[in-house]
Amino acid sequence: MKYTRLTKEQFEELTSEFINFLATQSIDKAEWDKIKQEQPHIAEQELDVFSDLIWEGVLTRAEYLEHFSRNHIFLFRLSEASVHSIVLKSMVAEIDFLTKEGLQWLSDHMFTDEIEMKIGKKEFTEERNASVFELIKQGAFLSDGQLYQQIDKIIQS
């Protein structure tokens, strides 16, 4: 397995897609029930293959990621060959970016000495989607890129 198996909740959300996936292999509901009962290892393999297909599609389409921690915000823009980053760090230890108040404080102090901002770019050294998946495993999540774009636009002007 290349990525990780989808959760039960994710499979439930993707029921129709999973049915279509099985249908492409000429497996109907009765056949699937039989496989689960008589060959659970084959059923497990099918779940893993489907999970990898879903992850591959999601990761290929991913353009932006965000990762918030108490004192840092990591914003990523993903291209084919590289990842661009904007890292914001609070220089005030009491500030917590995981709270509404912390984010408001960030908004009020964005371009002051109380916020350290680093901008970077890194070429993917391994396969792009595997690198993106590693960021997700570390706590990043897919985003619409609005925050990255807002900050980038200010930096560029």
- Where do the structural domains in the chain lie, given as residue ranges? 8-61, 64-156
Residue 41 pLDDT = 95
Q: Which of 52, 56, 46 is nearest to 5 (CA)?
A: 52
CA atoms within 13 Å, Cβ hemisphere of 111:
5
Question: Is the pLDDT confidence value at 69 over 90?
Answer: yes
Per the prediction, the chain carries an average pLDDT of 94
DSSP secondary-structure letter at 105? H
Residue 13 pLDDT = 95
Which residue shows structure tokens 């004192």?
71
Degrees (nearest 5) of the Cα angle 4, 6, 12?
175
Distance (Å, rounded) from C-alpha 90 to C-alpha 28? 55
- Starting from the edge strand earliest in sequence, which strands make up the sheet with 141-142, in order? 115-123, 82-90, 72-78, 64-68, 141-142
